[in-house]
Amino acid sequence: MIHRFSLRVYYEDTDLAGIVYYANYLRFIERARSEWVRGLGIDQGRLKSEEGIAFAVRRVEADFLRPAKFDDVLTVETRLGGVTGARIMLDQAVLRGNERLFQAGVTLVCLKDSGTPARLPADVRRSITASEN
């Protein structure tokens, strides 16, 4: 299943040339991931406060394909690439209409408050794997 998140490029997202500053693509896909997790019914605040765990980005492999510009309406697509006991792999893309501007493979890990790795809680893993259908 593909999760879609829409956003508009504001002036603050661009550089002097009027194109989206490269680091902002990471912000765009982070927002989309947060909405993807929320849409699965996973409350990240509750996970942190009650179970002492949080998701963190472990790895990002990104390709900048074409520039987005001021006032563009973009869609971030997020799809599950895989899940293990403590990792979530996602494929994310930023599109303007049907034109792919940016794509990334993102690996999330589950961490304890101490910063050490943790296994995904069983209910969280079930929610994530159910999104594949």
| Catalytic (active-site) positions | 15
Closest CA to 56 of 126, 2, 93, 106: 106
123 backbone dihedrals φ, ψ, rounded to 5°: -70, -35
Partners of 108 in the beta sheet?
Answer: 57, 88
Per the listing, tokens 């599950």 go with 80
C-alpha to C-alpha distance for 77 and 126, rounded to whole angstroms: 21
Torsion of CA 22, 23, 26, 27, to 10 degrees: -120
Residue of 69, 66, 85 lying closest to 8 (CA atoms)? 69
